[in-house]
Structure 1
Amino acid sequence: MEEYKSKKVILDYFSLMNILKTDKKWMGVFVTIAAILGLAVAFGTPKEYQSSVMLAPETATSNNLTSSISSLASMVGMDMNFGNSDDAIYPELYPDLIQSSDFLVNLFSIQVETKDGALRTDYYDYLKNHNKKGWWTAPARWLHVLVEKLTADDVPYQGDGNKVNPFRLTKEQYNIAHNISKNIDCLVDKKTSVITIEVTDQDPVIAATMADSIRNRLQTFITNYRTQKARNDLAYMEKLFAEAKEQYVKARQQFAAYSDANQDVILQTYRSKQEDLENDMQLKYNAYTQVYDQLQLSKAKVQERTPAFTIVQSASVPIKHSNKSKLSVLLTFMFLGAVCRVMVLLFSRRKEIFRIVASEPK
């Protein structure tokens, strides 16, 4: 009885090399066509510029200011909870924050100006009406519009004029916000917590403008978040201070008027009334000074909670575009053309290139 022999397919490299040598004509045709497409893509791709900004956020640690304010607060019998880190937004969450709809729609109204100064408009209008697109995207865009018309079951939400509602964006607003999100990249170094914001646009000045604006708005958002409670407390203390001051001034005026009107009176009833007014004025003054101290501490609390950002690298107008060089695009397409021709040969002449051999049983 013959032993069972398994079969396996192997690639005959010698046959493949011989076929490639005799296929120079068609290989040249494929590479030439790919080169033409590569040149069309290289010259038809709009130039893009990238601008970046780097900043280092303040770490949540106690400092001399915190210790001094805490000591002052304890002297007046207050517990201001200085130095406690209750932040829910850490640097690692900044990329998600920048990609949120609320943050993106706030970028619509930023005023931008092109490098040549010929156009000055808001960022929304720039992306909608003045952004160039590659010629090869025209069929896809036309097909997309056609499919939308054929498959639309209801009237899309049109919004309210020029107002933007992050809760319910129009389709156009959503697309613009999506394009902005693709133009922005936020990276956080986990070791150093350094934040890098990169913005890519078709105009170098607009790219730098948006990078700096996003950096500024991120700082503003984080500052407002961290100081929200402290600012609310400060507003409340300012209200109490105004009321305490008004009551003290009123009590002082009453005491002064009564004293002036009864300077020569020696009756005990008048003296008792005067002492009552003086005591009331003193109580109002004590309350006034105590609220004043609390007001100063509330102001210090806001300052203590305000984060400090160190700008490691500010935004600058890029000189060179960030696109791949035309030569690299050309070589990539030529390589892909050669690969396509090889794949065609591997399929059409597979019987010559691949051989089935029987392997000896173990």
Structure 2
Amino acid sequence: MVEQQDVVNINIASVIRQIKNNKRVYIIVFVVVGIITSLHIVNVPRTYTTDTKLAPELNVGMKNGGGLADIASSFGIDLTNGQFSDAITPLLYPSLMEDNKFIASLFGIRVTPIKLHKPVTYFDYLSHDQEKPWYIKLFGEKKEKDVLHVSNDQYKLFYPYLFTKEQDKVAKMIQDNIILAVDSKNSVITITVTDQDPLVSKQVADSVRNKLQEYITHYRTNKAKRDLAYYRKLMLDAKRTYEKARRKYSAFSDANTEVLLTSVTSQQEDLENDMQLKFNAYTALVSQYNGAQAKVQENTPAFTVLKGAAVPDKPTAPKRMIFVLVMEVLAFFITTIVVGRKKIAKIFN
């Protein structure tokens, strides 16, 4: 048994006639909505967006075909299947924006807003120099008691995993303003920054790129630098031991120049052999130290800036004309429903 469905027929001519009969109502609604939405959107701060692209050197965990992988990557083809020798792969870099320690390192960035004409920290800029929408200005905003001014290096005194309310507020603003994205095919890192000041967005994008480079370099070279410091300590200790043995041998030889006793000669040979052993240990450690230096250089990644951050000349949001147009269209449909509510009720009854 087939159930019959009710079909609602809408007479377009009737709708157009209804609009003409209520033309004055539509005009009033359009004018009022246009004025209200325009006043609203004009008083919402505009934001500017810029981006920069960075290509870090990769430690690919492939013993064979490394050259082929390099050639393929230049065409956007990944032959590594995500096999990197690093524990932290490029795909994990966006997670840095969730780490309070990395966010806190951005507090001290020096920026120069166009309206201020003087350098301030990014923390102070976000805390005190942001334009507020009209409704926040009208109704006010709850003020925090622990408002801080942060100097260039003062962020280092913060404990990043125990922010104050003001620090946490600024940290969330930074997380909203900065986006890190990594292309899974070629591992190109894109840093996108949105701010109310176009010059600030460019300066922050450059600073985040530099901070990211420092982080990657520190991670790649951290173990090699620890090994370098260890071998340097051993080398210096061996050098001091060798110099002590050499002075002891020289002093004994000078004191017994004309002595021909066998016991003295034997003792002199023992001191010479001991000095030679310590010298050999010292030279071996010098070689290891030089190798550790080369390892640090080898692990230091090279970076290529594929696209530098530019000062945006046009705001990206809000889209004022689109917002007003959408509100006008919405007002049209609501007005049509309200004006023709009786006919609509008859259709569905």
Interval of TM-score (by shorter of Structure 1 and Structure 2)? 0.7 to 0.9
For residues 28 and 314 of structure 2, the distance between their equivalents in structure 1, rounded to whole angstroms, comes to 34
Matched, 1:230 2:211: no
Paired residue secondary structure (1:187) = strand
Match of 2:194 among 178, 200, 213: 200
What's the counterpart of residue 32 of structure 1? 31
What's the counterpart of residue 120 of structure 2? 121
For residues 50 and 176 of structure 2, the distance between their equivalents in structure 1, rounded to whole angstroms, comes to 14
For residues 4 and 111 of structure 1, the distance between their equivalents in structure 2, rounded to whole angstroms, comes to 73
For residues 85 and 325 of structure 1, the distance between their equivalents in structure 2, rounded to whole angstroms, comes to 42
Change (3 A) 1:231 1:61: same
Bigger RCO of structures 1 and 2 (CA < 8 A, at least 6 apart): 1
Letter of the 2:40 counterpart:
V
For residues 339 and 217 of structure 2, the distance between their equivalents in structure 1, rounded to whole angstroms, comes to 63
| Kept in 2: contact 1:51–1:211 (CA 8 A) | yes
Letter of the 1:232 counterpart:
R
| Kept in 1: contact 2:54–2:189 (CA 8 A) | yes
| Kept in 1: contact 2:238–2:278 (CA 8 A) | yes
- Tell me the CA shift for residue 267 of structure 1: 0.6
Please show how residues 102-181 of structure 1 align to structure 2 within 5 Å. Answer: 102-116=101-115, 118-138=117-137, 142=141, 145=142, 163-181=157-175
For residues 209 and 54 of structure 2, the distance between their equivalents in structure 1, rounded to whole angstroms, comes to 8
For residues 345 and 99 of structure 1, the distance between their equivalents in structure 2, rounded to whole angstroms, comes to 51
Which string of whole-angstrom CA distances, capped at 9 and with x for unpartnered residues, describes residues 72-94 of structure 1?
xxxxxxxxxxxx95422222111
Matched, 1:10 2:8: yes
- Tell me the CA shift for residue 134 of structure 1: 1.2
For residues 344 and 92 of structure 1, the distance between their equivalents in structure 2, rounded to whole angstroms, comes to 52
- Tell me the CA shift for residue 287 of structure 1: 0.4
Consecutive unaligned residues of structure 2, counting only runs of 5 or more, are 67-82
What's the counterpart of residue 75 of structure 2? none
Letter of the 1:350 counterpart:
I
- Tell me the CA shift for residue 223 of structure 1: 1.3
| Kept in 2: contact 1:33–1:337 (CA 8 A) | no
- Tell me the CA shift for residue 349 of structure 1: 4.1
Paired residue secondary structure (1:350) = helix
For residues 209 and 166 of structure 1, the distance between their equivalents in structure 2, rounded to whole angstroms, comes to 23
Please show how residues 320-335 of structure 1 align to structure 2 within 5 Å. Answer: 320-335=314-329
- Tell me the CA shift for residue 332 of structure 1: 2.7
Change (3 A) 1:141 1:13: farther
Between the two proteins, the alignment pairs up a number of residues equal to: 323
What's the counterpart of residue 94 of structure 2? 95
Letter of the 1:199 counterpart:
V
| Kept in 2: contact 1:227–1:306 (CA 8 A) | yes
- Tell me the CA shift for residue 113 of structure 1: 1.2
- Tell me the CA shift for residue 278 of structure 1: 0.5
| Kept in 2: contact 1:109–1:123 (CA 8 A) | yes
Change (3 A) 1:9 1:346: farther
Letter of the 1:239 counterpart:
K
Matched, 1:209 2:207: no
For residues 197 and 5 of structure 2, the distance between their equivalents in structure 1, rounded to whole angstroms, comes to 61
Pick which of 180-189 and 4-13 moved more: 4-13
For residues 260 and 328 of structure 1, the distance between their equivalents in structure 2, rounded to whole angstroms, comes to 96
For residues 214 and 5 of structure 1, the distance between their equivalents in structure 2, rounded to whole angstroms, comes to 64
Matched, 1:265 2:265: no
For residues 2 and 84 of structure 2, the distance between their equivalents in structure 1, rounded to whole angstroms, comes to 74
Match of 1:300 among 281, 294, 301: 294
Pick which of 256-265 and 236-245 moved more: 256-265
Paired residue secondary structure (1:200) = strand
What's the counterpart of residue 278 of structure 1? 272
What's the TM-score, normalizing by structure 1? 0.80
- Tell me the CA shift for residue 320 of structure 1: 2.4
Change (3 A) 1:24 1:130: same
Match of 1:291 among 273, 276, 285: 285
Paired residue secondary structure (1:196) = strand
For residues 3 and 52 of structure 2, the distance between their equivalents in structure 1, rounded to whole angstroms, comes to 66
What's the counterpart of residue 359 of structure 1? none
Consecutive unaligned residues of structure 1, counting only runs of 5 or more, are 68-83, 149-155, 357-362
RMSD over aligned Cα atoms: 2.9
Please show how residues 175-194 of structure 1 align to structure 2 within 5 Å. Answer: 175-194=169-188
Match of 2:242 among 232, 242, 248: 248
Paired residue secondary structure (2:8) = strand
For residues 180 and 126 of structure 2, the distance between their equivalents in structure 1, rounded to whole angstroms, comes to 20
Q: How many percent of aligned residue pairs carry the same amino acid?
A: 37
| Kept in 2: contact 1:55–1:309 (CA 8 A) | yes
| Kept in 1: contact 2:58–2:84 (CA 8 A) | no
Letter of the 1:27 counterpart:
Y
Paired residue secondary structure (1:114) = coil
For residues 170 and 296 of structure 2, the distance between their equivalents in structure 1, rounded to whole angstroms, comes to 36
Change (3 A) 1:4 1:303: closer
| Kept in 2: contact 1:54–1:197 (CA 8 A) | yes
Letter of the 2:117 counterpart:
A
- Tell me the CA shift for residue 314 of structure 1: 1.5
| Kept in 2: contact 1:52–1:199 (CA 8 A) | yes
Change (3 A) 1:204 1:158: closer
Change (3 A) 1:256 1:174: same
